[in-house]
Amino acid sequence: MKLILAIVNDEDTSRLVSELNKAGFRVTKLSSTGGFLRSGNTTLIIGVENHEVDDALGIVRKNSSSRKATINTTMSPTGMGTSYLPYPVEVNIGGATVFIIDVDHYERM
């Protein structure tokens, strides 16, 4: 048995969980926050049999798309004191970070 931890963007969570449930996978959702952009993420916990890993990963890949977004960051212009100006930066958001962990023992109570 394997435990899949999938960290996905909040915008992808609803559709992804729905598709995993349709395929017969049980999913636990945990709200989390990303470290880089401090954006909302969801960590999904999915327990699967060894032969189901590829099917579950396929659903995660299909439903957690990476996309570009423009964010405003603040830069201190040199020689202008301590004031900050917004500076747009294009970044990739979305996608998924996935960890697959071996499970030694499992009980459902």
**Per-residue pLDDT tens for 19-68?**
999 999 999 999 877 655 556 789 999 999 999 999 999 999 999 877 67
Q: Which one, of 11, 28, 102, lies nearest residue 64 by Cα?
A: 11
The amino acid present at 18, given as its one-letter code, is S
pLDDT value, residue 10 = 85
Using the structure block, give the residue that is written with the tokens 């999913």: 27
Query: What pLDDT, in 10s, does the model give residues 61-106?
Result: 999 877 676 666 665 555 555 556 666 766 666 678 999 999 999 8
Tell me how far apart the 2 most distant CA atoms of the chain are, in Å.
65
The CATH code of domain 2-78+95-102 reads 3.30.70.120
CB 60 within 8 A of CB 48: no
> What would the two tokens of residue 67 be?
């996309």
Give dist(CA 101, CA 99) in Å, integer: 6
